[in-house]
Amino acid sequence: MSDPLHTLEDMDEYSGSMGSDADVAALASIVGEVEGAAAVVRAGQVAEVRALAAAGQLAARQAAGSPAVVRAHDMALRSVAAELGGVLRVTDRTVQSRIDEARDLVEHYAATLAAWESGRITRGHVRVITDAGSVLVDASSERRAEFEAAAISRCERDTPNRVRSEVEILAERFAERSFTDRHRDAAAERRVRVVPGSAGMSDLIATLPTVIADGILDRLTQQAQTIVDAREPGNAGSAFGARGAGDLAGVSGAFGESGIGDAEPDRRGIDQVRADVFSDLLLSGAPALDPTAHGDGQGSLGAIRAQVQVIVPALTLLGVDDGPADLVGRSPIDADTARCLAGNTHSWARVLTDPVEGTVLAVDRYRTPWTQRRFLRARDQHCRFPGCRRAAIRCEIDHTIDAAKGGPTALWNLAHLCQRHHSMKQFTRWKVRQLPGGVLEWTSPTGRIYREDAPAPPVAFTPASISTTATDEPPPF
């Protein structure tokens, strides 16, 4: 067994070798240049948006006096778009679409545009706000303004990919039509289709409710990872088993590096294994290869079940309202699906949050003794490296102060990190310390500090939001 202290010293030496002081100074200079260039690009993008909006308004004025206003406006807009297309070297259809987007931003999201122009948010945030706000077409200007102010405030504190789900849920609170109703209509359009590709390949596309799609991907990933992990070092085993002639169900796993039927070691990557398991499950109902099986008995691969991480407001769970739940790291889900999940799961947590700050105060859970794990999963929700939103159920619990350095296994010294950022913390000059309240303070190799607040659940309930009226009726799940 290796000496843990020796291993730790080697790790520290490796971390320190990730660039000399001169390299760090050069990186700091490059970061400054990129920051300056980004400011110039931002100013140019905002100016272009304003100019495109002005072009659209000009086209509207040109058509205002025409007896056939609709057609005249379209012709004027086409002409203006064609003129700009020649300058921008894109099609007039593309320009026309960009003009429409620019007018929407300038005329309906003035505060968002101002926040972008001042550098408080990025273009990605602008897209998140306008996309989410599309459900507010029938809302009053006051409700739209209230949504916009709250969305900007949230966007200022995190990256676009992190805030998308929360901003979408925020917009639903101001929408005239409930998310559950719109989801019901959208779910009626679910379908599966094949898009032919090249070289004998095609894309199989399924349009499904998000929670179902996320669960499918999770189960495929778990099964694929089990197959990859079962490979013996030095002899990974066959990539395919015995196949009957014309057995389509056996073909999916047969695409090794050496052709069909070859007994070469399995060198498939995780994506390839996942695709093969997907094909096997649909064609035969079970993976063609189960490395956990012994003899004629069934293995444990088929017993793997999908996991999704969902936050459901208490009032939605109780049927008091139909506010959407949050599929962490993905998007909102409708109230009916959330209640169905809660009613069928073997384990669920009750999260009590601060009514002002929104931070997690306490977690109750049933049928599991893992007190720390359940609290951390509720508090962190996702990887705690700035900008990463990989769900906590797919992350590792990391000791902020390494256990080998005396760091305790205590809540104030634990946080979720995905494998990528866990490794980066260990082997590069990135440093982190944990402050009260689960706040992580990351320091980059150039000395820049990035504060990572513990995320407030976007659909959390608070003591003030729960009715004190007693009821003996069972919950609707």
Q: What is the pLDDT of residue 68?
A: 65
- Give the relative orientation of helices 123-132 and 141-155 as an angle to the nearest 10 degrees: 140
* Below-70 pLDDT ranges, the chain: 1-19, 65, 67-73, 232-264, 286-309, 311, 313-321, 328-331, 341-370, 457-477
pTM greater than the 0.85 cutoff: no
- Rounded to whole angstroms, how far apart are CA atoms 336 and 184? 10
Buried b (16+ CB within 10 A) or exposed e, 259-280: eeeeeebbebeeebbbbbbbbb
Instruction: Give the DSSP letter string of 165-232.
Output: HHHHHHHHHH-SS-HHHHHHHHHTT-EEEEEE-STT-EEEEEE--HHHHHHHHHHHHHHHHHHHHTPB
Q: What is the pLDDT of residue 206?
A: 96
C-alpha torsion 230→233→234→236, nearest 10: 10
Over the chain, what is the mean pLDDT?
Answer: 78
Q: What is the pLDDT of residue 28?
A: 94
- Rounded to whole angstroms, how far apart are CA atoms 294 and 283? 23
The ranges assigned to domains in the chain are: 33-187, 215-303
Q: What is the pLDDT of residue 435?
A: 95
- Calculate the alpha carbon distances from 275 to 164, 231, 240, 279 in Å: 28, 18, 14, 6
Q: Would you say 387 and 159 are in contact if contact means Cβ atoms under 8 Å apart?
A: yes
pLDDT tens-digit map of 424-437: 998 899 999 999 98
Q: What is the pLDDT of residue 103?
A: 97
Q: What is the pLDDT of residue 63?
A: 81
| Token couple for 84 | 């700009």
pLDDT tens-digit map of 69-116: 556 568 889 999 999 999 999 999 999 999 999 999 999 999 999 999
The 3-state DSSP class for residue 329 equals coil
- Rounded to whole angstroms, how far apart are CA atoms 202 and 195? 6
Residue 445 CA to its chain's centroid (Å): 26
